[in-house]
Chain A
């Protein structure tokens, strides 16, 4: 458990990282470094996106599964790593 906390701290201290959100399988944020409204906003929208992406991948080949999802936009990049019960969202602006 401690190593997970350490790793999260390291990620947070990386260049350009704006926030980290951990969301559980129902779409409820469990841990976050952003403010409440942004967290809820991100969690709700991204949850649907992840479900759709995962459904797409698995529908094509049921033995396959989603490893991660990157959404790169003009201003920043949203990285999503889904797990069995949780998924992790990190927002980074790499050119910072």
Chain B
């Protein structure tokens, strides 16, 4: 199209010119249209139209601000700013990790790595703190002991503890010894729960209706299978730990002499003994020391005496008398601890069928004896009939020491006589009582009244005496041989006796002067004989031993434990004086009729 070409060429030329004129004007490409002059176009002359204006295009954005704020972190200041007014400046302490300053600091002091750590949590209770202090204290004490460097004496307790600790390295199970003991007691308490409750709390209410009688409630029965065939020959309560008692076992039978057994039971564990010591010869009597309750004196059928120490390990006696050291030649019927002598040695007395009362002293781990008195049939040795006749020796079967007057003691003999003797007079009896027609089985001073003692014998009788009077105050006939009699520790008028027909008799002279107030048959007649009886020092129970090797414990009902009733308005007095007064009243009652008849 020729028109188009011309017009295009013309328009291109025109466009170029126009373009050169105004930069801002947006040129549209005209296709074949003529030159159109807008009405508001600048009127320019030809010369002006041909003028060339130079225009430069740059990349700078004219709208962009001229003063941008840039923060140079390396140089810690604002830079590239032309107009800056500083309002506030503060120096900070943060360093960039890669800056020189930071690198320098790292090299100087700090570790590059944190120290090894572990997490720990615990409680700081009072007892944790206390334990820590106690350990410190013990460490200090140990250091002190080492410093002293003196050889320390090993006392028996320490050896026992030391033995335990070395053993435990061997086998783990021995460490639980204590816990096992406690558990056994707990299990037993559960098994025998009813009995334990009875022991503590049962009071026979029916006693209110029975004015003058009481009952005995059977509690635990103690038996030990190693004691089969042995009879109980001695019972003794421990004065310090009043739930512990000792049982001596042997045989009264002359023909059947076997081994013996010394067994300790605690009321806390009634199924199994706490300690047991087998012995070669039958035991006839035991006595536990009052202050040192771990020392036990034992008298044997073969005439030996021995001392056992419960603290020491081992099954043997600590001291034992032999033929050389003066053992008795006949069975030892009674042993009794005495107060420590002037050199603070322990000593005890023994009486035996060979007619000797001997005193044994523990001098530096040895048993030394001295004869105290020889019992002769005719009385004092110096009074031997017709000059130089050899006095016949009597057998001693029982003795007892006065509670307050230290040197005074009574000895019962196999002939039925009781002699009052003194430790200081070895050849003289102070007094002789013709007591029984058969051997005296037991003689005991009253715990409260200083003048009264009781004796029992196989001649079926029990007699109560005032030692200033030659004849008995009371006599009781029990229809069977009496094995043992014992005063109660809480009342001066209550005593108990056991007979071979299996009956326990409890008497209270305050209530009934002629009969027992309680006579339960503890064992059937054919089954066995009762041999020993003992009151517990504080609990209202008695233990009774029989010839089968059993020990039965019985609880005394309230009627048997009566204290004197107070008159209305008066205070109820307690204590030994009251007991003494009670007895005195009884005695005086008896004296009067005697005086009147005499």
Q: Interface of A with B (CB < 8 Å)?
A: 1, 3-5, 7-8, 10-11, 14-17, 22, 24, 30-31, 55, 58-59, 62-63, 67-68, 70, 77, 79, 81-88, 90, 92, 94
A88 contacts B176, CB within 8 Å?
A: yes
Write the nearest CB–CB distance from B474 to chain A, whole angstroms: 47
Q: Cβ of A4 and Cβ of B173 under 8 Å apart?
A: yes
* B184 lies within 8 A of A1 (CB): no
- Please, which residues of chain A bring their CB within 8 A of the CB of B176? 4, 22, 83, 86, 88
Query: From residue A75, how far is it (CB to closest CB) to chain B in Å?
Result: 14
B127 at interface, CB cutoff 8 A = yes
A11 touches B187 (CB 8 A): yes
Q: How far apart sit A59 and B177, CA to CA, in the bound complex (Å)?
A: 26
B134 to chain A, nearest CB (A): 9
Assess whether B433 is interfacial by the CB under 8 Å rule. no
Contact B173 A62 (CB under 8 A): no
Contacts of A63 in B (CB 8 A): 130
A68 touches B173 (CB 8 A): no
Q: Is the CB of B181 within 8 A of A79?
A: no
Minimum-distance CB pairs A-B, first 7: A62-B130, A58-B127, A81-B179, A94-B190, A83-B179, A62-B127, A81-B182
Inter-subunit contact B126/A59 (CB<8 Å): yes
CB contacts under 8 Å to A, within B169-217, are 170-184, 186-188, 190-191, 193
Known: A59-B127, A79-B183, A82-B179. 10 other contacts (CB 8 A): A7-B181, A11-B180, A11-B184, A31-B173, A58-B127, A62-B127, A62-B129, A83-B176, A86-B175, A88-B176
How far in angstroms is the closest Cβ of chain A from B436? 45
A10 to chain B, nearest CB (A): 6
In Å, the complex CA distance between A14 and B192 comes to 11
B186 with A58: CB separation less than 8 A: no
12 contacts between A and B (CB under 8 A): A7-B180, A10-B272, A14-B188, A15-B191, A22-B173, A30-B173, A55-B127, A81-B182, A84-B175, A86-B172, A86-B176, A90-B183
Docked pose: A68 CA to B172 CA in angstroms:
21
Q: Which residue of B lies closest to A22 (CB)?
A: B176
Give, as a whole number of angstroms, the nearest-CB distance from B136 to chain A.
Answer: 14
Contacts of B272 on A, CB cut-off 8 Å?
A: 7, 10
- Chain B residue nearest to A85 in the complex (CB): B175
* A16 neighbours in B (Cβ, 8 Å): 190-191
Q: Is B167 an interface residue (CB 8 A)?
A: yes
With A11-B180, A79-B183, A92-B190 as contacts: A4 and B174 at CB distance below 8 Å: yes
A88 to B181, CA, bound (A): 10
Tell me if B584 counts as interface (CB < 8 A to partner A): no
Determine whether the beta carbon of A86 is less than 8 Å from that of B179.
Answer: yes
Name the residue on B nearest A82 (C-beta). B179
CB distance from A96 to the nearest CB of B (A): 9
Tell whether B592 is near chain A: CB-to-CB under 8 Å.
no
Bound complex: CA A30 to CA B188 (Å): 24
Q: Which residues in A have their C-beta under 8 angstroms from that of B173?
A: 1, 4-5, 22, 30-31
| Contact, CB under 8 Å: B126 / A88 | no
Residues of B within 8 A of A (CB): 123, 125-127, 129-131, 167, 170-184, 186-188, 190-191, 193, 271-272
Nearest CB on A from B34, distance (A): 108
Find B125's partner among A17, A55, A79, A90 (CB 8 Å cutoff).
A55
Residues of B within 8 A of A77 (CB): 190
CB distance from B197 to the nearest CB of A (A): 12
**Contacts of A31 on B, CB cut-off 8 Å?**
173
Q: Which of B123, B171, B187 contacts A1 (CB 8 A)?
A: B171
Chain A residue at minimal CB-CB distance from B180: A7
Interchain CB contact under 8 A, B125 and A59: yes
Cα distance, A79 to B190, chains bound together (Å): 10
Contacts of A70 in B (CB 8 A): 186
Q: Is there an interface contact between A1 and B174, defined as CB atoms closer than 8 Å?
A: yes
A56 to B225, CA, bound (A): 43
Q: How far is the CA of A33 from the CA of B297 in the complex (A)?
A: 42
A92 to B193, CA, bound (A): 13
| Interface contact A7-B184, CB-CB below 8 Å | yes
Pairwise interchain contact B187-A14, C-beta atoms closer than 8 A:
yes
In the bound complex, how far is the Cα of B188 from the Cα of A81, in angstroms?
Answer: 14
Find out whether the CB atom of B191 lies under 8 angstroms from the CB atom of A79. Answer: no
CA distance A87 to B126 in the complex (A): 23
Bound: A33/B154 CA distance, A: 40
Q: Report yes or no: B180 in contact with A62, Cβ–Cβ below 8 A.
A: no
Of the candidates B181, B182, B271, the one whose C-beta lies within 8 Å of that of A14 is B271
Nearest B residue to A77, CB-CB? B190
Q: Which residue of A lies closest to B131 (CB)?
A: A62
- Known A4-B177, A67-B182; contact A94-B271, beta-carbon cutoff 8 A: no
Residues of A within 8 A of B172 (CB): 24, 30, 86
B221 to chain A, nearest CB (A): 15
Question: Counting chain B CB atoms within 10 Å of each CB, which of A10, A17, A24 scores highest?
Answer: A10
* Residues from chain A with Cβ under 8 Å of B177 in the complex: 3-4
How close is A2's CB to chain B, nearest CB, in angstroms? 9
Which residue from A62, A86, A92 sits with its C-beta under 8 Å from B126? A62
Distance A35 CA – B271 CA, assembled complex (angstroms): 28
Chain B contacts of A17 at CB under 8 A?
187
Complex Cα–Cα for A81 and B125 (A): 22
> For A90, what are the chain B residues with a Cβ–Cβ distance below 8 Å?
183, 186-187
Chain A residue contacts of B126, Cβ below 8 A: 58-59, 62
Q: Give the shortest distance, in Å, between B246 (CB) and chain A (any CB).
A: 20
Chain A: minimal CB distance from B289 (Å): 26
Chain B residue numbers with a CB within 8 Å of A22 are 173, 176
**Contact residues in B for A30 (Cβ distance below 8 Å):** 172-173
Measured between C-beta atoms, what is the minimum distance from B540 to chain A in Å? 26
**Chain B residues whose CB sits within 8 angstroms of the CB of A7 once the complex forms:** 180-181, 184, 272
Looking at A30, A79, A82, the one whose CB has the most chain B CB atoms below 10 A away is A79
Cα A82 to Cα B176 with chains together (Å)? 9
B272's nearest neighbour on chain A, judged by CB, is A10
Collect the chain B residues with CB atoms within 8 Å of residue A88's CB: 176, 179-180, 183
